[in-house]
Chains A and B, each alone.
Chain A
Amino acid sequence: MTVQENLQNIQADHVLDTKGLSCPMPLLKVKKTLKTMKKGQVLEVHGTDPGSKNDIPNYCEKHGYQFLGYEDHPENYTRYFIQIE
């Protein structure tokens, strides 16, 4: 089973759209949204900034959020999945 199939089964509790925004707006919004969510919930982020592929996993690792992975969507954006531990 690939990681992508794995991600496709995830039901996100909240979807955050940051398409078209560039550094630092996507991460700023992710940080704000994560703060409003409950334990066990999953946040799905849509973004187009290449920097987010480093920023979001790094941020999660350092702040105790579970980064579930990302996948590139055919419509030219990337989906990121984060779970609150």
Chain B
Amino acid sequence: MIPEGVDTQAECAAASKQDKDMTEHTSFIKGEIEKAHRTVFLTPWPAWVSGVFLAFLALLIFMWWHTWGIAGGFANWGDWFFYRLGLYESAPQRGVLLNGMSVSNIGLLVGAFASALMSRQFAVHRAPRWEYGKGLVGGGLMGVGAAIAAGCNVGGFYSALGMLDLGGAMMMLGLFAGAYLGLRYLLWEMENVGQNGQGATGPGGKSSKDWSGLAPYVGVLVFILMLVAFQVYNWLGQTQMGGLLFFGFLIGLVMHRGRFCFANAFREPFMTGDSTMMRGVIVSLMIYALGVAAMKWAYIQPPGAGVYHPFWMGSLIGGVIFGFGMLLAGGCASGSLWRAGEGHLKLWLALGGFFLTNSPTGRLLDQSGAREILGGGVFIPDIVTWQGGLTLFYLLCAGIMLLLVWNEQTEKFTAF
């Protein structure tokens, strides 16, 4: 018979080895989580990486529901606002939590908020009064431009071009023109508006420093709440809306991590010559359009889906006004949403300006019959077949890329 002591000793040794293994495993997992956190949330993403993910998510939304857009959600908020004030006679068809674009907008904002927490970048960023004014006016101009172009930088340009709607290309021209004019204005303002007005001495950001160690945990909590929200939608028989909320959330995260910004994309070629962001947008579009073509060609979605943008006048004029507005506000429709999520109060005002003007301008255009004059959707494959349409689209992308890189080297288009 084996003496008891030996047995216990062996057991002890085994147990302590197990303990050691456990701590090793735990610290291994902890280390790997920290590494992953650093890679995803503490290191900035290159613009094109965000662009690739964005195309993927926009395609998921196209399969799940229909074309991704943002301004439609703001229009819904504006409709409710003016209806509650008693200025509109009829209530909007769908509530804020059941309108697809409104729901994905909310998801985008919350996603950026969670991402900012995870990256320890969330803070309430206050701005000088002058800048708040620019946010409100810029947002208001974006609302008007998006109403005329039947979409913002996302619905009117990114998604429209991805859907191979010619209006998207026209809005791109308009956005470039508007961004150029907006930049000229900012330069003029810098020279001529008093320093006290534009607030180099303005209040800074309120830091989240005291709780920045905790912020990532709050970020995880927000993510879990998002999953719960999806499940609630699911129970209520609104799975589609729940999915849009979740896809919007992921878009917010992806855009925040790459600081993916259409205002930057259209502005930088004129400001510093840098085309990194614009090339990210083009890469994104190249993937998006290919996926859309596959889905439409295979009749997973109807070929005419998302093709309604007012070519050419509406898209062009709307693009110019929108482009000018986004330079004043310092963010486009999507950029304002994710920056609002990051805590910039100026961009909250831009969102306010956006829905206050977008809804009434849209109504005015509908009621006055002006939409007829602005133009209608032109589906590129209808004119030049699928093969021709895709070839033209990729030639356009390659052409813009070349032009951007050439401008980067020569700075021919930079404004000062």
Contacts and interface: CB of A to CB of B under 8 A. Distances in A.
Contact of A62 (B204, B263, B274): B274
Given A17-B200, A20-B131, A28-B187, A49 B259 contact: no
Contacts of B267: 24
Contact of B127 (A21, A24, A28): A21
Interface of B: 44, 121, 123, 125-128, 131, 186-187, 190, 198-207, 209, 259, 261, 263-264, 267, 271-274, 276, 327, 330-331, 339, 342, 344, 346-347, 416
A50 interface: yes
Contact of B271 (A27, A51, A58, A62): A27
Interface of A: 16-25, 27-29, 31-32, 48-51, 53-54, 58-59, 62-63, 75-77
Contacts, number: 91
The 4 closest A-B pairs by CB, nearest first: A20-B202, A76-B207, A48-B205, A19-B204
B259 A54 contact: yes
Given A21-B127, A22-B127, A24-B264, A50 B121 contact: yes
Nearest to A53: B44
* Residue among A28, A54, A63 with most chain B CB within 10 A: A28
A59 B264 CA distance: 13
Given A20-B125, A62-B274, 19 more contacts: A17-B201, A19-B200, A19-B203, A19-B204, A20-B126, A20-B131, A20-B202, A21-B127, A22-B125, A22-B131, A22-B330, A24-B330, A25-B131, A25-B330, A28-B190, A28-B271, A51-B259, A53-B44, A77-B205
A18 B205 CA distance: 11
Given A24-B267, A63-B272, A48 B204 contact: yes
A21 B207 CA distance: 15
Nearest to A19: B204
